[in-house]
Structure 1
Amino acid sequence: MTLGSCGTKKKIAELEAKNKECQDLLNSTTVKLNLCLSEKDIISNQLADLKKTNSDLISNVGNITLLSAKGAENLEKSLESLKEKDLKISRLQDALTRKDSVTLALVTSLKSAVGISDPDIEINVEKGVVMISIADKLLFKSGSYEISDRAKEILGKVAKVVNDKPDFECMVESHTDNVPYRNGVLLDNWDLSAKRATAVVRVLTNDHKVNPKQMIAAGRGEFQPLVANNTVENRAANRRTRIIVMPKIDQFYDMIEKEMKKQTGK
């Protein structure tokens, strides 16, 4: 019995040792399992973040592609608009060049026809139109709107050139000095300048057959002097009649429009 009891104790001790070993292994395994589970959660969260980041990147790439496409489209439209503007500017410059060529040719014709030896007659280009300035002493007597024979001769030469340009307009613009008009027949210098302008128009249309549709009569009175009206010489310079020969504005723009249509094929 004593021997049996000793054998049993030994087995119990061995089992207890084995049990402790298993318990230690279980505890160690449990710790490792908990660590693995914790790492799994961390990795799962990281994976979720990565998936979201990936989704955001894909979305951003799509947006960038869309923005790039819109940007390219807008850039193309801007370039097309610039091309159209450049074309319009080019056509306008061509039309202006042609107009300037016609204007210079007109100046040459007038100078050849009228002659420029007389200091009281000036022919030049101002602001793109042809100006024929004639001192009033060649056209009228002081305070009068009756045209002299010498003036009729000059106006005949002007009319010949104007008649060769049916697409041009001819404005007669009369100016006076600031000495008050005292004849009594007319009201003032403005009235006098208007009568002088219409007198010139009548000579051009009635005597020299200029088309009345080309004519414009304008009285400027004393309000656009060349110089101060403070001397006899200055007042004489301010008394003048200008004949302005210019292309009709509507025809000029028609010419530009036709040039643009010709270029674009529309």
Structure 2
Amino acid sequence: MSKKTRHEEHEEHADESWLLPYSDLMTLLVALFLVMYAMSATDAKKFEEMAQAFSSVLNGGTGVLTERAATPSESNLDQGKSDKMNNVISKNTGEAEMAKLRQKEQEDLEKLKKQFDQYIKNNGLTDLLSTKLNQSQLMITISDNALFASGQAVVKDESRQLAKSISTMLQQFPDYDVVVQGHTDNIPISNTSYSSNWDLSVDRALHFMKILLLNPNLDPKKFSPIGYGEYHPIADNSTPVGRAKNRRVEVSIIRKYQEFKQFTGIPPSDN
């Protein structure tokens, strides 16, 4: 009887195929925790570098890491850039509008100056009146001889028409503030009406302003009288010619949109 061949029993080998998905799972979990940590950090540059590295290792190209949401620091930065850009646009718009207003104002004041100059020429008043336009105002300078008797502040009857003519031209631009200034020379005044050149200069400015405001089309809120006495001369008080130049009334139309605000002695307008 032949013997049957007896096969030796071999030890069963454990199935290790589960290790592959397990290792993949561990790798993905590590990557997930690293990504979560990076997203909570404030260094956007490091996050970007790590995202590129993981994407390259895991799938050989770009992946979900490169399509991440902006970090808080980036969001704040983007918002800051947006606000800054809006401020720049707003500032540029404001400057453009202001430039237009200044240009319109310049045209208005040049037009008004031409009207005054033409009036002065037509009435032969070149020795008594003059105009000057600068960065702060349009100024009409009137010699005291054209308005007052010596040492007096009441406007002469024959000079009241001059004040009325000026008021008529001013009514074309009613929104401007107007300052009426009185000036004297440095010779002390000696009469019963005034105790000083201060008093005389203030009273002259006030009297002339009141005649201007007889025009109902002018707003009294826009007008202010100022007396400077002898303390703002435009010529040398040591000569008769110089003193005659210093005795004057100035009507100043103040710019509203001057680039560099200057003190004019006038209170702010209500509107």
- State TM-score, norm by structure 2: 0.63
Say whether residues 1:59 and 2:38 are aligned partners. yes
Change (3 A) 1:73 1:203: closer
Change (3 A) 1:253 1:129: farther
- 1:146 counterpart residue number: 154
Work out which of the residue numbers 63, 86, 96 in structure 2 matches 1:90: 96
Change (3 A) 1:166 1:227: same
Residue by residue, what CA displacement relative to the aligned partner does 1:110-169 show, whole Å, maximum 9, x if unpaired? Answer: 222333751321112133322110111221222121323443232232122123333334
Look up the SS of the partner of 1:63 in the other structure. coil
Please say if residues 162 and 170 of structure 1, whose CA atoms lie closer than 8 Å, have aligned partners that are also in contact.
no
Higher helix share: 1
Look up the SS of the partner of 2:117 in the other structure. helix
Residue by residue, what CA displacement relative to the aligned partner does 1:223-258 show, whole Å, maximum 9, x if unpaired? Answer: 11113322222111111111123467899997xxxx
- 1:47 counterpart residue number: none
- 2:117 counterpart residue number: 111
Cα distance in 2 between the residues matched to 1:103 and 1:253: 22
Change (3 A) 1:71 1:253: farther
Look up the SS of the partner of 2:188 in the other structure. coil
C-alpha RMSD over aligned residues: 3.2
Look up the SS of the partner of 2:106 in the other structure. helix
Please say if residues 171 and 218 of structure 1, whose CA atoms lie closer than 8 Å, have aligned partners that are also in contact.
yes
Look up the SS of the partner of 1:178 in the other structure. coil
The residue type paired with residue 168 of structure 2 is K
Please say if residues 174 and 219 of structure 2, whose CA atoms lie closer than 8 Å, have aligned partners that are also in contact.
no
Change (3 A) 1:145 1:252: closer
Please say if residues 204 and 210 of structure 1, whose CA atoms lie closer than 8 Å, have aligned partners that are also in contact.
no
Say whether residues 1:232 and 2:263 are aligned partners. no
Q: Which has the larger radius of gyration?
A: 1
Look up the SS of the partner of 2:234 in the other structure. coil
Q: Output aligned runs, 1:138-217, within 5 Å.
A: 138-206=146-214, 211=218, 213=220, 214-217=222-225
Cα distance in 2 between the residues matched to 1:70 and 1:158: 60
Cα distance in 1 between the residues matched to 2:91 and 2:219: 39
Gaps (5+ residues) in structure 2?
A: 1-29, 45-70, 258-266
Gaps (5+ residues) in structure 1?
A: 1-50, 255-266
Please say if residues 177 and 269 of structure 2, whose CA atoms lie closer than 8 Å, have aligned partners that are also in contact.
no
The residue type paired with residue 109 of structure 1 is Q
Work out which of the residue numbers 116, 128, 141 in structure 1 matches 2:136: 128
- State TM-score, norm by structure 1: 0.64
Please say if residues 141 and 249 of structure 2, whose CA atoms lie closer than 8 Å, have aligned partners that are also in contact.
yes
Cα distance in 2 between the residues matched to 1:107 and 1:121: 12
The residue type paired with residue 100 of structure 1 is Q
Q: Output aligned runs, 1:3-42, within 5 Å.
A: none
Change (3 A) 1:215 1:114: farther
Cα distance in 2 between the residues matched to 1:78 and 1:161: 46
- Aligned-pair identity (%): 20
